[in-house]
Chain A
Amino acid sequence: DTGVSQNPRHKITKRGQNVTFRCDPISEHNRLYWYRQTLGQGPEFLTYFQNEAQLEKSRLLSDRFSAERPKGSFSTLEIQRTEQGDSAMYLCASSLVGLAPDEQYFGPGTRLTVT
């Protein structure tokens, strides 16, 4: 399967702990996106990369959130000092600029529960 993969699929953590999620995009895709989704809502944009460069960050992405894509392949999203309001599904997507940049393909998501 050469789709977008995310790890872990589920994470339960205590308030105040740090967590890190990983996303592996479709191999030839140069854009990688992070979204957050809460129950009953559509995904909300957090940030995206083109190759290694982080091109845009949403105001939803507080200082406790940081994302990296060091070699232009996989990406990590870290949340420091988690809060209960961080509980959500974190989705990663990828696309290929130059072919169909708006067609974003999503991974299965990481479900975060902060207790």
Chain B
Amino acid sequence: GQQLNQSPQSMFIQEGEDVSMNCTSSSIFNTWLWYKQEPGEGPVLLIALYKAGELTSNGRLTAQFGITRKDSFLNISASIPSDVGIYFCAGPNTGKLIFGQGTTLQVKP
């Protein structure tokens, strides 16, 4: 079945640094979603992408829908301690979402 691979698995960065992470698939998606999850909570939708090549921002977050439709990227600029969490990419498959395994972000003040 479809699988999403996220990299890196984890990142430990200094406050103020920019962060980049990506998500790749062996098959095409028509939508890409990025979620953030904090410990003990459900995932929170950050950005939804609907068109190949689309670049969408939400505050300090910017995500891109890859031209091939098989990948997506998430960038966080000027990281702050509250950016800590696990970032998941997800793509829809007949209604349900397929999730990557997540990128864990830790920010050192």
Contacts and interface: CB of A to CB of B under 8 A. Distances in A.
Contacts of A91: 42-43
B60 interface: no
Which interface class (under 10, 10 to 19, 20 to 34, 35 or more) fits B? 20 to 34
Interface stretch (A13-21, A37-45, A69-77, A80-88): A37-45
Interface string B37-70: 0001111110010000000000000000000000
Given A45-B98, A103-B45, 5 more contacts: A33-B97, A35-B97, A100-B48, A101-B92, A102-B92
Interface of B is mostly: strand
19 contacts: A4-B42, A41-B102, A42-B88, A42-B90, A42-B101, A43-B88, A44-B99, A45-B97, A55-B95, A56-B96, A100-B48, A102-B31, A102-B33, A103-B45, A104-B33, A106-B42, A106-B44, A107-B42, A108-B42
Contacts of B95: 31, 48, 55-56, 101
A93 to B, nearest CB: 8
Given A33-B96, A42-B101, A109 B45 contact: no
B82 interface: no
Which interface class (under 10, 10 to 19, 20 to 34, 35 or more) fits A? 20 to 34
A11 interface: no
Contacts, number: 64
Greatest chain B CB density within 10 A among A35, A101, A105, A106 is at A106
The 6 closest A-B pairs by CB, nearest first: A42-B99, A106-B42, A45-B96, A102-B92, A102-B31, A109-B42
Interface of A: 4, 6, 31, 33, 35, 40-45, 48, 55-56, 58, 91, 93, 100-109, 111
